[in-house]
Structure 1
Amino acid sequence: MSFSDTRVWQAYWISFGATMVDWNAKNFPAPYFRKEFEIAEPKDCKLYICGLGFHEVRINGRRVSDFELAPAQAKYDAHAGYLVHDVSNLLVSGRNTIGVTLGNGLYNCQTAEVWHFDKATWRDYPKMIAELTSDGQTILASDHTWKVTNKGPIIFDSLRNGEYYDARLEMPGWDQNGFNDSAWQNATITAGPGGILYEQTSAPCRVTRTFPMHKLGGGIWDAGQNLAGRAEIKVRGKAGSCIKIQYGDVLNPDGTLYLDNIARFVKSGEFQTERYTLKGEATEVWHSHFTYHGFRYAAVEITGEAELVSMTAQAIHSDVRQVGDFTCSDPDMNALKQCTYWSYLNNFVGIPTDCPHREKNGWMNDAQLVSDTGLFFFDGKETYREWLGTIRDCMRPNGQLPGMAPTSGWGYNWGSGPMFDTILFGIPRNIYIYRGDAVPMRENYEPFKRALAFTESLAKGHLVRFGLGDWMHPFAERAVVPELPTTAWYYHELKMLVEAAKLFGYEEDVKRYSELAEQVFHAFNREFSNGNGSYANNEKTALAVAVQFGFCTGKEVANAVRILLDSVRKDAHIADFGIVGAKFVPRVLAEHGYADDGFKIFTQDQYPGWCKWVRDGETTLCEDFAGKYSHNHIMYGDLFAWMMQYAAGIEPDFSRPGFHEVVLKPRLIASLHNMTASYDTIYGKIKIEWQRVNGEIQFKAELPDNIPGRLERPDGATLAIQKTLNTHWKE
């Protein structure tokens, strides 16, 4: 979004008073703030609050909302989000009490790790600003009269390390009238984080689903699903006994928790660990507040006399509305859909991330590769828009972008490049295609031009050698040279900008970037084309990229597709490519009449391939086909969009933004007996259903009211659709 906000605050930023003067500053327990106040008659009461890193708010003993881990991570010295809550039903006439607890989050990332967020320019102790209005008038504002203590039960919290809670330090009634806060100190007025405040309107994080965890033995508990979130425990025992929980998503052969890979970048403190110290009541229920973990399993250690009665996994993610779905007759594809569903949500906790455990970082390449899936699955438009604002905040004056956002300054000279920069316009373009909104493209148009200027400054002879290339190829020696996909992506970026410039009527930009794109086109073909549809060493990614981005024309297209098809079939449809080929090889095959082969790439169950993960019992997608690294990644998740676009036939197109006109072009996968799919557009729901019955295809479709559409059948026939269609034809 544009991050424009005209709100004038009457409140002050406040903290518990400590000053951070170096990176090795002392850690403090979580601060608790409270304030009692009077209100004559609550009327249309709104609470405006930004508490960094994370905050929880209570009024008169009740939580203000079910939001978790708020606000979303940002580059806090550029912008920070505030939340607006309607609290009318929590207030009473007369005396009331507000209580706020702050966690460190990414704002005060005290953990030493390889990305150096512990040295971020914005880093400071937790602080907050809050204002309460009634009928539009300010009746309460944060200032030095608020009381604060850091002697509460959350004695340690860290986004990457975990959280420790001592229930013996609980303060019953601290968030209600009449609590004795004489031992608390007055809050300190302090400087804000440096960034401009804006209202966060993206989907908040919530607990959306719970999974009962089952004890496996040896202190290991299993949720049955790899997820992002936390466990809620029910315990009983003597005061002072401690429950230690450590989270992970893979077990060693001996049944213990395997953490070597996901913990390797964290250099101080424990990893994904929580500790709960009992207060000694009959039954105690607890979950952490200011961290989350990527896990399926939890290793539990008990010291003292205590019993863990039960454990429930709570899935936490941005609560984006689901808008698309499919089911088909192939159980493996349905399982892969579920893996994609969970991988996407597990990696959208406030911002899109690569993984919810090892890094929790906003890697841009992962997000842009699956934005088709994201927008076919969920309405994440506003959540994407806000994160795009953070990406712009991370752009250097010369247009250089890091590989992830937010960043402390790491990632500008490695893990970035055109495939990453594409996100600045690729996601806005997809928002326009899927949700019919051109505003994000306008917001990011000029910044994207600056990013292109930076890429142009690095291009020698219009070839770009800066970037990771076809990352995570299972056979490194067979991977295409990185400059082929990075140059291709540079060309794609230029073509996207020309497309938008035409839409917006920017004729000078159309001319300039068309000419530059033409130069890149010829440079690419001079360097990589062998003629007659052959590219580089005919790696699958090289061929798919050349076709997908339009580098080969005329008869060369058919030749390149044939070379690709022969290679895919010769290798028994294994995934002989990295993340670039994973997106484009199946798409090119489907676009050119070989959707069955694209489907087989997803569903053959030998290494390397997607379905091998299903056979191995995975419930999410992995970072690599061998399963050596993260088991909760989304970058191979384009398969959902592939199924919606090709197998179901719901065709997204720049010329039909928001599906204001619907084209259905199903590729009837030979191994499928039936398929159903739906997509909730901004105009209403598209529904399709097809099945094979006695040598015929029976096809049904339903479109939103007043939306024109057509069915393009595989046999070449075209049928108009007015609201509904029920037809059949011989195969």
Structure 2
Amino acid sequence: MKTMLSLAKFIEFPNIDNFSAPIFKKQFSLKELPQNAKLSVCALGLGYVYLNGSPITSDLFTAPVSDYSKTLWYNVYDVKRFLKVGENELCVIVGNGFYGWDYAYADFKGTPKLLLALSLDQETIFTDESWLAGINDSPVIYNELRSGETYDCSRGENFRLFGTKDYLPVKLSKNSPKGTLRECLCQPIREFEHFAPVKTFINRDGNTVFDFGQNVSGYLDITLAGKAGDLITIRHGEHIFEDGTLDHRGMNKHPFHRGHEFQTNKIILSGNADSPVFRFAYHGFRYAEIEGECEIIKINSVFVHQAVDKISTFYCSNELLNKISNCSDISVWSNMFYSLTDCPTREKLGWANDAVASAEQILMNFDSAPFFEKWLIDVFDSVTQDGNLPPIIPAWGWTTENYTGVLCTGIIFELPFAMYQSNGNKEYIRAAYPYMKRHLDWLLSNFTSDGLLSIKLGDWGGGDDFVSFTPVKFVDTALTIKYAKLITKVEEILGIINPLSQEIYHKIYNRFFSLFYDKKNEKCTVDTQTAVSMMICIKNDGISEGLIRQLTELVLKKDNHLDCGMVGLQYLIPALDMIGRNDLVYKIITATGYPSYSLWMEDGATTLYEAWNMKQSANHHMNSSVVSWFMKKLVGISQKIDTVGYKTLVISPYFPDELNFCEGNLRGTATAKWERNGKDIRYVLTHTKDVNIEIIVPDGYLVNSSINDGKYELIFTKK
């Protein structure tokens, strides 16, 4: 579809180094104020627009990231209030973002570019040869999204009427990306909570360290003063050593940062009270180490993420569960940057396996449909001609051979179907269906002669070295069975008649169970938590007593601890629920020692970690899938299987002996609260009028109920 931006031209600064942030400017005159003024902008990698010296929005880190060769996201703003009769000036400062990142995989890497159209009543101002650009007035003399920024306070923040000194005519971009222009309608990135330091101290190196008490994605809001020209260095980190120096736990040696400092901002002082504005890099941090002589007048950490609202709540009498829930929320928000990233520290990449693990609980707990609608386009863009997918979305040059597996590529099935289940919009699966089919065909083409699939990664994230204990061929084939079955569901929903899909599903299913299911003993031949859980979840003819005993013994053998990776965790919890062992789920989640969530909290975690051994990132969401169980079983509210839009809810709580009360709200549709009263449990439920309720009484309980105008009061009594 044609937009006003289609008539604009990408422009760039003619003689730029790789790391300065150029300023583009255009002066124009108005004889009268227009009735309408819409500004459309696509800055590669990131841009901030000022009109007559004022920022036109509080949105951050635009243009939204994408595979720029496929899609160019742009934003539209009403700027009428910034205009005046007479001379006006547009100024846009543009940084590298993910367009100009310093990494060999990105084949589109280039210098910052700007595409802009200001549409007025009778005219439109486009980016073209008439614009000017400069870098000598730019306060940002270095910017790299993962490494940081260098900000020269002597150059100031005055984006009004710079004049023409040292400004040059822009150059029209000859190698601008050819992606389709799309307006971004999802929630913007904004600033949220500001955290004051809870502790300040001097470390071994004589530098001042501020502990803000909360790990977040963002940057500092700082005002400082010192000698003009002095350099102040700010290093950001998630952990510290006993001597107060930053502990990056191996992440500062990541290949993304060769030749660059890690999570480091620098400030050149002006001699006055300076308040630098950081625009082009964000960090994952709880601690900030400041090196250099200066007076700190004000300092806070700023939590930055997309403005995606939390729409469900959870609270109970077990503080560990409350901490896990809160850490999950912060980790999800910390990774909402126009794609669902893995962490805000080292990579900032949209690892699809992490998204597969977290999608259900994010859709349950957050108003995330607009966020995922944008990212789903990026997912579609990532599908290769032969039907494969990369592990990272947008891919940015990561090939389909780098650290991938069905745990990653399954995003093409999992995300659109989960979105459909969440709000009932069939367009998600209708748009995804051709890509689902293409990828399933690709998976089938890679099956070996034994009727199994083994790509690369399997049950990633288990053990100290992240090695899977379950054979990759088991994991990849089991996931393919799930997705072959899902395609048959999608076809049924969309009214597509395709008998071949059923044939494919049954062929893979039968071969898999002939190899991995011991009919005589009714057990899985791969004796791991992951394998048995996956088999229980995909088995289509009932769960055998042998599988029930096998999974129970595997959990008890590990003293109610996890012995699996991220795939196993996604299937272990629902499998235990299916066999009626939610008592084991509760014990696993509340376990102490290694591995456990409790160990993370003892380490001072305020977000979820990447690794159980705590040696990697401290702000990952990939192990957050357990919080969906909190709502489904502890609060006791879940969506009925094979229904959509949360219109039919099942009330089926589990009451751990160790828990005295629990309460929660599911997406504004239903609220439940229960508490113990001797041997009885009083459970109160309210819901909106458009919701149907089905109640399943937990095993071992009797129930007395009363219903009054949509309010249920249930008294559960142990038999």
Q: TM-score, normalised by structure 1?
A: 0.92
Quote the offset at 1:9 in angstroms.
2.9
Contact 1:317–1:350 (CA under 8 A) maintained in structure 2: no
For 1:6 and 1:101, locate their aligned partners in 2 and report how far apart those are by CA, in whole Å. Answer: 23
Pick aligned residue for 1:188 from 150, 171, 191: 171
Relative to 1, partners in 2 of residues 1:474 and 1:154: Cα closer, same or farther, differing over 3 Å? same
For 1:592 and 1:28, locate their aligned partners in 2 and report how far apart those are by CA, in whole Å. Answer: 57
Pick aligned residue for 2:669 from 685, 705, 708: 685
Alignment of 1:702 onto 2:690: no
For 2:93 and 2:671, locate their aligned partners in 1 and report how far apart those are by CA, in whole Å. Answer: 46
For residue 379 of structure 1, give the secondary structure of its aligned residue in structure 2: coil
Alignment of 1:56 onto 2:40: no
Quote the offset at 1:720 in angstroms.
9.7
The one-letter code sitting in structure 1 at the alignment partner of 2:79 is V
Q: Which residue of 1 aligns with 2:182?
A: 198
Contact 1:586–1:599 (CA under 8 A) maintained in structure 2: no
Pick aligned residue for 2:196 from 212, 229, 232: 212
Quote the offset at 1:226 in angstroms.
1.2
For residue 223 of structure 1, give the secondary structure of its aligned residue in structure 2: strand
Quote the offset at 1:536 in angstroms.
2.7
The one-letter code sitting in structure 2 at the alignment partner of 1:247 is H
Range with bigger deviation, 596-605 or 326-335: 596-605
Range with bigger deviation, 101-110 or 59-68: 59-68
Alignment of 1:141 onto 2:126: yes
The one-letter code sitting in structure 1 at the alignment partner of 2:617 is S
Q: Which residue of 2 aligns with 1:276?
A: 267
Aligned pairs, number: 702
The one-letter code sitting in structure 2 at the alignment partner of 1:588 is A
Alignment of 1:488 onto 2:478: yes
Range with bigger deviation, 72-81 or 560-569: 560-569
For 1:504 and 1:603, locate their aligned partners in 2 and report how far apart those are by CA, in whole Å. Answer: 42
Pick aligned residue for 1:675 from 645, 662, 670: 662
For 1:343 and 1:336, locate their aligned partners in 2 and report how far apart those are by CA, in whole Å. Answer: 10
For 1:312 and 1:50, locate their aligned partners in 2 and report how far apart those are by CA, in whole Å. Answer: 31
Quote the offset at 1:589 in angstroms.
1.2
For 2:561 and 2:248, locate their aligned partners in 1 and report how far apart those are by CA, in whole Å. Answer: 29
For 2:51 and 2:426, locate their aligned partners in 1 and report how far apart those are by CA, in whole Å. Answer: 40
Alignment of 1:156 onto 2:142: yes
Q: Which residue of 2 aligns with 1:23?
A: none
Contact 2:526–2:532 (CA under 8 A) maintained in structure 1: no
For 1:386 and 1:706, locate their aligned partners in 2 and report how far apart those are by CA, in whole Å. Answer: 29
For residue 526 of structure 1, give the secondary structure of its aligned residue in structure 2: helix
Contact 1:30–1:154 (CA under 8 A) maintained in structure 2: yes
For 1:666 and 1:582, locate their aligned partners in 2 and report how far apart those are by CA, in whole Å. Answer: 21
Quote the offset at 1:415 in angstroms.
1.9
For 1:575 and 1:128, locate their aligned partners in 2 and report how far apart those are by CA, in whole Å. Answer: 49
For residue 66 of structure 1, give the secondary structure of its aligned residue in structure 2: coil
The one-letter code sitting in structure 2 at the alignment partner of 1:700 is V
Relative to 1, partners in 2 of residues 1:488 and 1:311: Cα closer, same or farther, differing over 3 Å? same
- 1:326-337 correspondence runs (5 A): 326-337=314-325
For residue 562 of structure 2, give the secondary structure of its aligned residue in structure 1: coil
Contact 1:712–1:718 (CA under 8 A) maintained in structure 2: no
For 2:165 and 2:543, locate their aligned partners in 1 and report how far apart those are by CA, in whole Å. Answer: 83
- 1:15-34 correspondence runs (5 A): 15-18=12-15, 26-34=17-25
Quote the offset at 1:105 in angstroms.
0.3
After superposition, give the CA deviation of every residue in 1:74-101 in whole Å (9 maximum; x if it has no partner).
1111111000112222223333222111
For residue 463 of structure 1, give the secondary structure of its aligned residue in structure 2: coil
Quote the offset at 1:188 in angstroms.
2.2
After superposition, give the CA deviation of every residue in 1:509-556 in whole Å (9 maximum; x if it has no partner).
xx21211111111111122112333213421111111001226x3351
Alignment of 1:13 onto 2:26: no
For residue 344 of structure 2, give the secondary structure of its aligned residue in structure 1: coil
The one-letter code sitting in structure 2 at the alignment partner of 1:197 is L
Alignment of 1:36 onto 2:22: no
Q: Which residue of 2 aligns with 1:126?
A: 112
For 1:28 and 1:203, locate their aligned partners in 2 and report how far apart those are by CA, in whole Å. Answer: 28
- 1:654-673 correspondence runs (5 A): 655-673=642-660
The one-letter code sitting in structure 1 at the alignment partner of 2:714 is T
For residue 573 of structure 2, give the secondary structure of its aligned residue in structure 1: helix
Alignment of 1:298 onto 2:288: yes
Contact 1:433–1:652 (CA under 8 A) maintained in structure 2: no
Contact 1:478–1:539 (CA under 8 A) maintained in structure 2: no
Gaps of 5+ in 1: 20-25
After superposition, give the CA deviation of every residue in 1:128-184 in whole Å (9 maximum; x if it has no partner).
11111235x543222222221111211010012211011122363x324xx422431
Pick aligned residue for 1:76 from 61, 64, 68: 68
Quote the offset at 1:63 in angstroms.
1.2
Gaps of 5+ in 2: none
Contact 1:541–1:585 (CA under 8 A) maintained in structure 2: yes
Relative to 1, partners in 2 of residues 1:47 and 1:539: Cα closer, same or farther, differing over 3 Å? same
Relative to 1, partners in 2 of residues 1:6 and 1:149: Cα closer, same or farther, differing over 3 Å? closer
For 1:534 and 1:36, locate their aligned partners in 2 and report how far apart those are by CA, in whole Å. Answer: 75
Q: Which residue of 2 aligns with 1:109?
A: 101
Alignment of 1:345 onto 2:333: yes
For residue 240 of structure 2, give the secondary structure of its aligned residue in structure 1: coil
After superposition, give the CA deviation of every residue in 1:655-682 in whole Å (9 maximum; x if it has no partner).
32111222222222332111111122xx
Alignment of 1:375 onto 2:358: no
For 1:175 and 1:211, locate their aligned partners in 2 and report how far apart those are by CA, in whole Å. Answer: 31
For residue 181 of structure 2, give the secondary structure of its aligned residue in structure 1: strand
The one-letter code sitting in structure 2 at the alignment partner of 1:181 is T
For 1:478 and 1:6, locate their aligned partners in 2 and report how far apart those are by CA, in whole Å. Answer: 49
For 2:428 and 2:68, locate their aligned partners in 1 and report how far apart those are by CA, in whole Å. Answer: 21
Quote the offset at 1:654 in angstroms.
5.4
Q: Which residue of 1 aligns with 2:84?
A: 92
The one-letter code sitting in structure 2 at the alignment partner of 1:550 is K
For 1:332 and 1:640, locate their aligned partners in 2 and report how far apart those are by CA, in whole Å. Answer: 12
Relative to 1, partners in 2 of residues 1:360 and 1:475: Cα closer, same or farther, differing over 3 Å? closer
Quote the offset at 1:28 in angstroms.
4.5
Quote the offset at 1:273 in angstroms.
0.9
Q: TM-score, normalised by structure 2?
A: 0.94
For residue 323 of structure 1, give the secondary structure of its aligned residue in structure 2: coil
Contact 1:711–1:719 (CA under 8 A) maintained in structure 2: no
- 1:464-475 correspondence runs (5 A): 464-474=453-463
Quote the offset at 1:417 in angstroms.
2.3
Question: Identity over aligned residues, as a percent?
Answer: 28
For residue 321 of structure 1, give the secondary structure of its aligned residue in structure 2: coil
Alignment of 1:251 onto 2:240: yes
Quote the offset at 1:478 in angstroms.
7.7
Q: Which residue of 2 aligns with 1:222?
A: 211
Contact 1:488–1:545 (CA under 8 A) maintained in structure 2: yes
For 1:568 and 1:312, locate their aligned partners in 2 and report how far apart those are by CA, in whole Å. Answer: 44
Pick aligned residue for 2:412 from 424, 430, 440: 424
Contact 1:376–1:644 (CA under 8 A) maintained in structure 2: no
Contact 1:162–1:274 (CA under 8 A) maintained in structure 2: yes
Contact 2:21–2:135 (CA under 8 A) maintained in structure 1: yes
Alignment of 1:597 onto 2:594: no
Q: Which residue of 2 aligns with 1:499?
A: 489
Contact 1:586–1:601 (CA under 8 A) maintained in structure 2: no
Relative to 1, partners in 2 of residues 1:502 and 1:5: Cα closer, same or farther, differing over 3 Å? farther
For 2:624 and 2:475, locate their aligned partners in 1 and report how far apart those are by CA, in whole Å. Answer: 19
The one-letter code sitting in structure 1 at the alignment partner of 2:170 is A
Range with bigger deviation, 495-504 or 246-255: 246-255
Contact 1:434–1:652 (CA under 8 A) maintained in structure 2: no
- 1:244-643 correspondence runs (5 A): 244-265=233-254, 266-281=257-272, 283-302=273-292, 305-460=293-448, 461-474=450-463, 479-508=469-498, 511-531=499-519, 532-550=521-539, 553-554=541-542, 556=544, 558-643=545-630
